[in-house]
A and B are shown apart, each in its own frame.
Chain A
Amino acid sequence: MAVLLVTSSVALLYYTKYQQEVTNNENYIGDLDSALNSYRSLSNSFNASLQDYNETLSLLTSAVADLNTSTPAYGDASIALATLWKDYQALDSASGRRAIVYEVNMLLDFGNGTRRWYNDTSIQPGWNGYVVTLVLLDGRVQATWYPQYGEHYVTGLGGVSDTQSDYWFLLTYNKTASWQVAQLGADDISMFNDTTIGWVYCPENSNYAPTCALP
């Protein structure tokens, strides 16, 4: 009788404990569901924010490409653009997805033996040669904007400005013709995957062509 009483008491105790655990478990499941919903909502908000970020970058790029280069807004925006683009790529990478980007290459030849390559650099589709140069050089581009032609005349890159004798020349590259002096301004050069452009700083001849050897 005593054994039966003890066994029953133990069984009752453990049943009570079991019920408590079941209740706790249900609470945890509820909390987890709630947390999961919050996470999904946060994730959706993050993705929406990234999309907004992307659109803002596109708008800022358009503004920088069309702003008068002598305005303070242009100076601020062109410097900020490079930083914002890097931040965007970091955030986008953290989100686990990969935005559609083009990989392009740019060469900066200072004409004194110093060459700086920007290889496989990610850019936003739609950027032209001028915007790419601006972003890769962190805004260190001097130029005059001619709204009537929709073109920039570049007078300085990476802290080196045109002089009476030396100028920056824009080059294009393809595998068959190698490097050629661009027939279009940087604004008119569309950048696609694997597009390569270059800038070379050197004197010009009487035909306004660079006198130095192309890379």
Chain B
Amino acid sequence: MRTSYAVAIVAVFTSMIIGSDFALAGIANFKLMDTFVFIVAYAFGFKPGAAVAVLSETVWSVVSPWGQAGELAPFLIGGELLFAFAGWAASKVWGAERKAVSPTAIFIGATLTICAFLWDLETNAAVGLLGGAKSLAAYLGYEAMGVPFMIPHELGDFALGMLFAPVAILMVSRFRKVV
């Protein structure tokens, strides 16, 4: 992939993620970031997906209306790379998406849900770490308290992964052929 093309892809998707994050800020734990990162990695490979993940999460960690993520930011950024890896791995398993509606859509939704679950586990553990947790029980406490927030995040990712990601991957793949 040409460098200018890759930069354009990363810039466009990062902008869309930040814009949509602000637009959806009023809806609890429902964001397009995970799905977009997955889509970019699926359609263009791991590196552009990872670049979008790192850039968008870094920007969001600073400009989020809920305040800066501070010390938690590296954990959020690291966790977001999961979606890039999953997108790239999924493209190797399922290949180019040819239909907007297919059984694969459920698997894409499930993949995003698993990634969201791992991201939640990792970031909740980080909250515990930064909050001074010193025992396994304390960490489990932080994980348990995070459950009410994890559920809408994972349900949202499943819905977007099943309904939006296959269509978006198809559209992006067609756009790629034109370019």
Contact = CB atoms under 8 A, between A and B. Distances in A.
Interface in B11-60: 28-29
Interface size class of A (residues with CB under 8 A): 20 to 34
Interface string B59-70: 000001111111
Interface in B64-97: 64-70, 72, 76
B130 interface: yes
A149 B67 contact: no
A155 B145 CA distance: 9
Nearest to B64: A150
Contacts of A151: 28-29, 148-149
A24 to B, nearest CB: 63
Contact of A70 (B65, B67, B123, B132): B132
A184 interface: yes
A62 B68 CA distance: 12
Contacts of A67: 67
Given A185-B28, A188-B28, A153 B70 contact: no
Nearest to B73: A147
B142 interface: yes
Given A144-B142, A149-B29, A62 B67 contact: yes
B29 A144 contact: no
B96 to A, nearest CB: 33
A68 B130 CA distance: 9
Contacts, number: 59
A146 interface: yes
Contacts of B123: 146, 148
B149 A66 contact: no
Interface string B122-149: 0110010011100000000010011011
B131 A144 contact: yes
B58 to A, nearest CB: 14
A141 to B, nearest CB: 14
Given A153-B145, A155-B145, A188-B28, A148 B67 contact: no
Contacts of B68: 66
Contacts of B65: 150
Contacts of A63: 67
Contacts of B72: 147-148
A147 B70 contact: yes
Given A147-B127, A148-B72, A150-B65, 4 more contacts: A65-B67, A68-B70, A147-B67, A185-B149
6 closest Cβ pairs, A-B complex: A66-B67, A150-B66, A149-B149, A153-B145, A188-B28, A148-B123
Interface of B: 28-29, 64-70, 72, 76, 123-124, 127, 130-132, 142, 145-146, 148-149, 153
